[in-house]
Structure 1
Amino acid sequence: MNAAGRIDTTAGRLARLGFVDGARAERLLDELGPEAVGDVELLAELVAAADPDLALTSLNRLAERDPSVLGAMRQDPGLRRRLIRVFGVSAALGDHVVRHPEHWRTLAGEEAARRPSEAELRAELLFAVGADPESDEPVARDASTETLSALRAAYRGRLLHLAARDVTGEVTIAECTAELSDLAAAALEAGLAIARAELDEYDGVRLAVIGMGKCGARELNYISDVDVIFVAEPREGVDETKALRTATRLAQGMMRACSASTPEGSLWEVDAALRPEGKAGPLVRTLASHLTYYRRWAKTWEFQALLKARPVAGDLALGEEYVAAVNELVWQASARENFVEDVQAMRRRVEAHVRADQADRQIKLGPGGLRDIEFAVQLLQLVHGRTDPLLRRRATLSALNALSRGGYVGRDDAKALAEAYTFLRQVEHLLQLHRLRRTHVVPTDVMDLRRLGRGLGMTADPVGEFTTRWKRHAMEARRLHEKLFYRPLLQAVARLPADEARLSTSAAVARLEALGYADPEGALRHIAALTSGVSRRAAIQRTLLPVMLGWFADAPDPDAGLLGFRQVSDRLGATPWYLRLLRDQTAVAERMARLLGTSKYVTGLLLHAPEGVAMLGSDAELEVRPMEALQAEAASIAQRYEPDAEATVTAVRALRRRELFRLSVANLIGRIDVEQVGQGLSELNDVTIQAALDAAIAAVMAERGGGEPPTRIAVIAMGRLGGYECSYGSDADVMFVHEPLPGAEEREATDVAHAVANELRRLLALPTPDPPLIIDPDLRPEGRQGPLVRTLASYAAYYERWSSPWEAQALLRARFSAGDAGLGRRFIELIDPLRYPADGISMEAVREIRRLKARMEAERLPRGADPTLHIKLGRGGLSDVEWVAQLLQLRHAHRVPELRTTRTLEALRAATAAGLLAPKDEEILADAWRFASQVRDAIMLVRGRAGDSVPVDVRERARVARALGYPPDGSEDFLDDYRRATRRARLVVERVFYDT
């Protein structure tokens, strides 16, 4: 069946409704039975889920265990909605319900929407471990694995009940976090009951468990360490030493009961590191011992932590005594010397420990993350709460509301912070629910981002809308954090270079604003960090910064440039050559400032390999390295790390990162054009694939006992890789072909080839700080449904029997990339008659290609995209030009050998030389293709992530225009030029492609 025929299948309709794998969704729906297939309400709920494929998969697994769930869902729309919505968000809770199918029933009926009380949660978890909820000191039946597993199963059952109400919007974020905290407190109580079961005597001591952090503030997230402090008192007549020893055993037993691994997993770690003296101090202290420590030795951060303290388990009366006593100290802490500076320094230390490769995706600790909001709120609370008791709140949103009402924070600022905090907490919950893992890093995978966006109710463009909202909230949170947390910025102003130091804070801010800094207060902080102290580093930077501030201001994004400079300097500031380079070659500093202020992509590469700064000192260093040199270096790396495949490919990817930096810098400063960029990136990808293939073969054969592989393997480049036209964000489109050696068994050879292909993909996808190289094999025969690897004979049989015009068109880009060169050559010889057919393709095939192009224009352009601004699929864009060249090749390459090329511009030039295309038409098409390719590359360089449309946002478009060489006010000229070039190209396309 041809491509047009496949569109109207049930699988195609399901794919259009939101399923990623329509064919699989069709099969799973069929497996649910005829009633499910015709259940419109069921399908509507699946389509509304964050991840319809995941929801359907979990529903099928549950139905296999308990078929009655399908009938119950038809009778109870609330059950259907809750179950499918939670399945669409959480694979882990789907697994839990499959293990415990009776738990789905908690989502049915009126009780499903009711919020349980703190007492009910406590009683339920105590009952699960065989303890008496009515007892003051309940004891579990034992401390066996069975008891621990029962606690975990009951806990996750309640987690399921809450998550279902959460993802359906039946609880607010504050209600959700409060219930999570109550559930954690109940689990701690059950864990304490288990700990008592391990002791013969435990009644000689009173033990209180104090919740700290988010647990204490009743704002816990789904998966987090639970911070606690233990306080104990001996009962009357009991020796204190003995009582503390018993209390310590109880505390240790409780911690084990919660964190131990069982067949049902673990709950979470119980973290007591916030106690006096941290991990070096005793686990349990008396109340008097706690108070003595806090009065004599406590640091500022400890009082900040105690702001959240709340009794959560054990002897609650003793816990209340503890909280009342420490509160007197907490609310006087701001009177301590250097209190504000200490809190500010703590935030900086936290931020400094965030992994650089995750900083811009860290919603907790990174800039604009939850910690920014929490630290700002807590500092204001501690400073003003000394005299205003209304500010003494544990929870962030409640405290922020009190600060706003009291006039300490403006209403608009408070509202913006509350909205950002709520959004970030929702994102945090969705991230953690997926696998019930502790994470605060926004993923980069499109499917993960899609699930996040849809989980937040974004349906039109979930990835784009989510990313936009997240960045907007993070930017606003960071801005307000700087405004509130570092107010006033007197210290930063004092550390400015001499000519700025005489200015008041407001004057310094005004100066930076005039230079074009969007966040002048943040800029002051960076300047202070760079220039403070008496070190040589600080002295050189005090000399350079006044000039560099101007260079940053000349760049498209001065704030990003200054931040990047600070980050690179933090990495390399103590390195002698870096200091000398900055001091002696100011041209390097200028080039660095312009690059950092232009390209997030370059900044990211430099942060992971800051030694790349050395390349900026010499134009010769920025010359694109020949492929032979790269191959030799990759071979040397392989020899050095052999036989460790992962280490080899990690090192090769580091080589690729360095060369990406070289290419991107050369591109931005105008030393290479877009064709050279495409060639350089493609050759670099070839070298990377070859090294990964060699490592994969060695790893697979080692697993099979050693020896030589029973087959030859070749990687065939397709798409942009095949055309030597890769962009910075391009995947590597490839096909895998193998040929069994003489005497080898074909099945064994095929198994080895499949294993090698999968290992190659795995190695190149390993998480590292380096930009990934995604291997995309979807252009193979039958696409994702077809085998990943075929023999040469299998390709021949398929193409002889099944190939269609669009496959011949795709093969126009095919070339040998890596592996066995002889096999690659034979594959190319096999496909040449197909892509360069004798006498050209038929007119029916021409009409079919034109129909496919028209359908692609109508259906593949993203919803809401401006067709005049979409770089790839828009009018006169890359696809338009490429299809013109490819149709000319299919029709005439049999008699014009020069058309037998995988490169678009080369094909256009050959067509013009052969009289098949007017020189003026070739010029217009080539100009549009180059311009669109340059814009696509510039978007990636500026934003640090790929994009297929000319930015609509004015500021972002201006930055892209600047990267392309337009003046600061040239954004509209750039837009006009792009539209003009593509409009002219479209006229040629309509005449040459559709009318001839």
Structure 2
Amino acid sequence: MTGITDLDSRIRSDIEALNSVELRDHALQQWQILLDSSSIDALNGLLTSAVCGDHVTKELVRVIIGSDYVVDCMVRYPSILKALSGADSEASNVTGFHLWASVPEDYYDQQIKALVDISESEEQLSKSLRLARHQMMVRVIWRDFNGLADLFETTRELSRFADACVEHTMNWHTQALMPIWGEPHAKDYEGNWHPQRMLVLGMGKLGADELNLSSDIDLIFVYPESGWTKNGKREISNQEFFTKVGQKLIQTLDAVTSEGFVFRVDMRLRPYGDSGPLVMSFNALESYYQSQGREWERYAMIKARVMAGNQEKAQELMTMLRPFVYRKYIDFSVIEALRGLKDMINREVRRKGMEHNIKLGRGGIREIEFIAQVFQLIHGGLDVRLQNRSLMSVLLQLREGGILTEEAYANLVSAYHFLRDTEHALQALQDRQTQLLPDDTLHQLRVAHVMGYGSWDAFSDDLVAHRKNVEAEFVDLIQPVDEESGTSEPAFCDGWRSVWLDEMEDNEAIAVFEEQCFDDASAAWKLIKDLKQSKKVRTLQREGQERLNQFIPNLLQQLACSKRPTETLSRVLILVEAVLRRTAYLVLLLENPVALTQLIKLCDASPWIANQLAKTPVILDELINVSSLYSPPNKSELEDELRQYMLRIPEDDLEALMEALRYFKNAHVLRVAAAEVTGALPLMKASDYLTYIAEVILEAVVDMSWHQMVERYGYPTDDHGPVARPQLIVVGYGKLGGIELSYGSDLDIVFIHDASVAKYTNGDKQVDNQTFYTRMVQRIVHIMTTMMPSGDLYEVDMRLRPEGNSGMLVASLKAFNDYQHKNAWTWEHQALVRARVVAGSAELAGKFELVRKDVLSQVPAEGLNESVVSMRKKMMASLASAEDGNKDGVFHLKHDAGGMVDIEFISQYAVLKFAKEYPGILTWSDNIRILETMERLGLLGEVEVNQLIDAYKAFRIEGHRKILDNQKVVLSGDEVSEYQDYRQKVIKIWQHFMVDSV
């Protein structure tokens, strides 16, 4: 007891020497927890062991201040303390090395192998690895915090531990699976079979041997050659076998148990991301990177390292991948790619309020990495010295090669050490993967203390200085030069500053607006006065006021050149008012004159765009790049962009994923609208792109929901076992099915599955397959419709499913088929004409299309015309501008007689009437191509078809224009006469085709 009392006295003395009351209180609280625990004897033994000196109590105080996680480990696992003191020679998972000594390079390989070799079950293996991690982490944090190991010894020790865990856990599961499934083999050129082993590529910081304290490990699984297993109870392909190994490996390391986890495993860097196979052969991997590899994947592959598996094949694999990463020429195109990648990260940082993220924020760790990587990709193909995974080695080579100045090199190295040490201090607090600076005083003091500072302000000053140095180097590297706008401040009209700063009388201010060609000077001045006198402006903080004072004169200067300056001013000011609490958006516009020019141009063209920007100002970023703003990406580019975008968000952060989807949608809809209002994109293409956006998002949401359901319930099963991919499709109806989406369109969708309803999932919490897919659809709808800060994704209408609102959320394909044949109304068959699969299983999509064609080709002819005409009359009575669809001086583009619905009903009726005789009419779901098919089949004359198509396009163009002008799709006055000819021709054809011909 005397020893404990002496230790208590020494610890309290060291705590009392701290210069902060908050730190003293926290340290005393943590020490009391240790003092009251059953670990205190072991801790006393550690601190009084022969290798300790008087300094060790100060080391302990630093650790308990800096890491709640270490305190928890000490309390829960006394054996760790005995092992780290060198006193517990019997413990199976001891290091054999005390806290104050480095471990040999191969130590963790031997330690983890010994643990794995004696593990008789997955449970024992899982527990042993987690206890080993806790011990390793306590040791590493202690040494890191107290300067007993430098940054790179710490990161290398963490990386070696990860290597050993992956290697030996993979081997354990391989051996456990072989008695059942056999050993993988492949044939050589002579026909002889040879055993195969899986390889694991470590990516990112793990690949570079620079793992941080609480990092994910990014892995890619590969194997040399395709083949089959041999000598097991069942024979399966090599890919199937290694997929099982990979799944087991991930589960053992990643699952959170009562003992915690070993490593969070991230597989999203593999080809095709989450949608790709878990394991690929060398040939498949090479084919992917040669044909589809993206620039960001080149960046990622720089740090790739074979860290586990068949080392004989490792060199072959890396040699195969090298040409993808390093081009045999000086490749300056990577700077533009890097700029785009960094812009994407910056948008994410701003959207999530992560400016204080020391990794992703400005001047953070990622920018230092980018600086090195961009030169590696530019010059690495010719200079093999740059083909190096170590960041410090690359920076040294860049300095020695004269690419970096001595000052730049020193600044980057110093900042990297500081930022990585700070990262460790943040992560050790609670064993969390975070790079965000704390915002509460106590945590700030704790981080500052670990970093060797007496106050947060002192630490923060140095941090800011380091980040500014990094940012300056990064901006100098990638900042594009705008030759047109230059960097000088624009030449203002002398009066604009005085106008805004209230230095003029009303008549003087109005005179300035008149001189600068504002069409309604008095109204413009009133808009400015109202803004100036608003409560939001009057209560702005100093920084925000200064930004606004700089922005408004810039805005007025550029508005003077617009077509309708006063009206455009009113639209832009809606945005200005929306961002007055987030004036960083004004800075964005000030620092990017091109963006301000585009803002004015688009607000001048469309109040709808102005309102969208005001609702979601984060998409102002899209205005910076003019080339992409007016050139929306095609569907494959959209898919690729969304995949890359989502890779940067943790899979378990549902809120962040949902916000990311909303940003993606809003940004790309803005691009489409911008291209349409400026004439760069015709109506039909605009609808195509709006439809592509919805389809890509639906596919992503289906994938997200599938993974979340599988994680909770396991995989659905059939007669052959677990089903690895969702047997679900999303069927689009209406505008979505007809590829005619407009701005703000809701999505008419129906969900269909093809799973065995008598089977159950294979998870710990089993549910039948029907329940699984019902809950999956509920999750899909939740993700789509939940109102977030940036709005919802889409309004979803599911009333077209079998039995409407009273029907099941998701029907089996058989149930859908039975309903359509036996119970569906004519109007439901009309709706099916425009139905097509927009997301989900390709195999099930093919089956659905066969059902669709079968149903539509068997609609009874008897009474068909009467049903369609009757439905049209009902719609007209409830939706048209008058009961009969005719009202003098008014024309509803969609619902009135001679409008779009008449044309849609003509095409739908033709499909239902002639599908059996002419199956080709079932090919398309959109009205234009159905009408063209009708002409080709001789069902309607060329003149009539052209008249219908011309009218349909004209109505849709005007409808889009109305929406972008924030108006209803109803024409009045002189507008009606402009479309009267189209309307009368449609009415005439309706009468001839739907009435007279019957």
Q: TM-score, normalised by structure 1?
A: 0.46
| Larger-gyration structure (1/2) | 2
Q: TM-score, normalised by structure 2?
A: 0.46
The structure carrying a bigger helix percent of its residues is 1
